[in-house]
Structure 1
Amino acid sequence: MAEVHLRLSRDKLEIGKTRERIKMSSTYKELIMADTSHMDEYQKSEHQRALKFFSDQLFGGN
């Protein structure tokens, strides 16, 4: 019985990680497709930082 509970807990954790990755992927896609032509330099800089953060999280950073 304890083994079943442990397995269910692991499965729930894995599902949570998958959902988080899907959300991050969606945010990354929105950022990468965003029109930056109307942004000032600070906004562009923050946009770049956000893209790097999500890229590192999703694809691993160097």
Structure 2
Amino acid sequence: MPMRLRTHDQAQEFFERLEPVEPDIVQVRTRRPDGAGEKNIRDEDTAMYGAVARQP
């Protein structure tokens, strides 16, 4: 399966017509609401953004 890398700004374009749910678009490893997650991974080693949004 082909993969296309995108910057944060490019990922943001997918959500232009949607209403973001906090914390908006973030690195997937930091999205956990309880704050748990891998602490030993550097931001520059994370290759995935994620978000939750509503259709207005």
Q: TM-score, normalised by structure 2?
A: 0.22
Q: TM-score, normalised by structure 1?
A: 0.21
Which structure has the larger Rg over C-alpha atoms? Answer: 1
Which is bigger in relative contact order (C-alpha 8 A, separation at least 6)? 2
Q: Pick the structure with more helix per residue.
A: 1
